[in-house]
Amino acid sequence: METTHAEVTVHVIIPARNEEDCIGRCLESLAAQRGIAFQITVVDDGSTDDTRSIAESFPGVRVLAADEPKPGVMGKCNALITGAAGSTAKWLLFTDADTVHYPGSLGAAVKEAEERRVDLLSYSPEQEVKSWWELAVMPLVFADLVRTYPPEKVNDPAHSAVAANGQYILVLREVYEQLGGHKTVASKILEDIELAKIFKESHHKIWFRQGKGLVRTRMYRTFHAMWEGWTKNLALLFPQPLFLAARRGLEFLAISVFLITGTIVLLQKDLRGTFALLAPGIALYLHFLRRIQKAHFPWKANLMSFLGLPLFMSLLIRSYLHTVRGELTWKGRKYVQSAPGAAPASSIETE
């Protein structure tokens, strides 16, 4: 795995802050990559658990310690800057500690980037969902992201839409350095979006798509982490978070009212009334499922996601309020957030 700097094609950089539950699985999958020369650097971002010792147990993996970020600098950006400093590899892969990389995916990603002649390639990992709240909420977020920011627009150099996923961003190092890299977006909450934006606005081609069969992740392992994570992001991901919350609330109310009242009427053996109520309820629910299906989640999650609509609505409102107040806490650090805007950028997690 580890080669001399002159031979390295890809430098894999992983920022890690208290990732003991997943860093081992990530490094196992990366260390097993074949067919391409690469090196791996893990940047320990002030972890208080066993993240660093787990990373150091992998032969050939370089482990660095990031200094505490300066005021106004996001911790992840600070770690990525530390990891990329002095690299001589042709490509830099910024990937998260909660990702798992399929065999051969590293070489396949570089091949795709070179064949497409892009300077930034970003994959949206397959999502692992296990608990009921993951099954109910995650498809809702991703379905609205893909509806709002279609990848075909993101990948069109003539369109202003921008998207990227910080869990997997492959960049041509020379271009990355010319544009200032993560130093230019160090104060941004959604650093992945801002980085892709700089590439696209500088007329460097970007490519974004779902990474099915290449990389997967389980974003949130606890309800608290999901609540905190989406509070941080949702109001920045959607141009009109309150409008979207109202829309999803009405969707939940309409479907529920039609189906529940239709069922009550059915029990009263009023077939005409049953049809009048159940037919629109079923039609609205099927329309809901068609939208959710585009997020590429298993059917179990698609079916359960209807029950997650009130929670998704609550997260949108909470995220908006916290953003307006400038309140943000993530992994034990407090940051200042700007008010939500309507810029055409998104951190889409699915195709």
Is residue 31's pLDDT more than 80?
A: yes
At residue 227 the predicted structure's pLDDT band, cuts being 50, 70 and 90, is: very high
Look up the domain containing 279 and give its range: 130-149+222-329
In a domain, 337, yes or no: no
Average pLDDT over the chain, rounded to an integer: 89
Shared domain for 229 and 261, answered yes or no, is yes
Is residue 181's pLDDT more than 60?
A: yes
Give residue 100's pLDDT.
98
Relative to beta strand 99-101, strand 38-44 is unpaired
Token couple for 24: 């081992």
In a domain, 160, yes or no: no
What does residue 72 show for φ and ψ, rounded to 5 degrees? 90, -5
Shared domain for 216 and 226, answered yes or no, is no
Shared domain for 113 and 241, answered yes or no, is no
Is residue 2's pLDDT more than 60?
A: no
Give residue 263's pLDDT.
81
Relative to beta strand 333-335, strand 126-127 is unpaired
Shared domain for 99 and 185, answered yes or no, is yes
In a domain, 334, yes or no: no
Render the burial of 5-16: b for 16+ CB within 10 Å, e for the rest.
eeebebbbbbbb
The CA–CA distances, whole Å, from 198 to 120, 164, 166, 195, 248 equal 11, 12, 14, 5, 32
Token couple for 176: 């990355």
> In angstroms, rounded to a whole number, what is the distance separating the alpha carbons of residues 132 and 137?
9
Shared domain for 285 and 211, answered yes or no, is no
Relative to beta strand 38-44, strand 62-65 is parallel
**Smallest Cα–Cα separation from 213: which of 323, 94, 108, 87?**
108
The DSSP result for 74-103, as a single string, is: -HHHHHHHHHHTT---SEEEEE-TTEEE-T
In a domain, 351, yes or no: no
Shared domain for 135 and 253, answered yes or no, is yes
At residue 1 the predicted structure's pLDDT band, cuts being 50, 70 and 90, is: low
In a domain, 103, yes or no: yes
335 vs 251: which has the higher pLDDT: 251
- CATH no. for residue 171? 3.90.550.10
In a domain, 345, yes or no: no
Shared domain for 259 and 216, answered yes or no, is no
Task: Encode pLDDT of 12-27 as tens digits.
Answer: 999 999 999 999 999 9
Query: In the chain, which ranges are E strands?
Result: 10-16, 38-44, 62-65, 91-95, 99-101, 120-124, 126-127, 162-163, 168-172, 206-210, 215-217, 328-330, 333-335, 345-346
Shared domain for 139 and 21, answered yes or no, is no
Question: How many domains, the chain?
Answer: 2
At residue 332 the predicted structure's pLDDT band, cuts being 50, 70 and 90, is: low
Task: Encode pLDDT of 150-174 as tens digits.
Answer: 899 999 999 999 999 999 999 999 9
The CA–CA distances, whole Å, from 190 to 91, 162, 229 equal 22, 12, 12
In a domain, 180, yes or no: yes
Shared domain for 186 and 250, answered yes or no, is no
Shared domain for 206 and 239, answered yes or no, is no
Task: Encode pLDDT of 122-149 as tens digits.
Answer: 999 999 999 999 999 999 999 999 988 8
Is residue 273's pLDDT more than 70?
A: no
> In angstroms, rounded to a whole number, what is the distance separating the alpha carbons of residues 136 and 307?
6
Shared domain for 250 and 120, answered yes or no, is no
Summarize the confidence of residues 271-286 as an average pLDDT: 83
Is residue 343's pLDDT more than 90?
A: no
User: Which amino acid is it at 118?
Assistant: V
Give residue 8's pLDDT.
87
182 vs 339: which has the higher pLDDT: 182
The CA–CA distances, whole Å, from 16 to 52, 76, 212 equal 8, 8, 23
> In angstroms, rounded to a whole number, what is the distance separating the alpha carbons of residues 102 and 317?
36
Summarize the confidence of residues 198-216 as an average pLDDT: 96
Shared domain for 242 and 139, answered yes or no, is yes
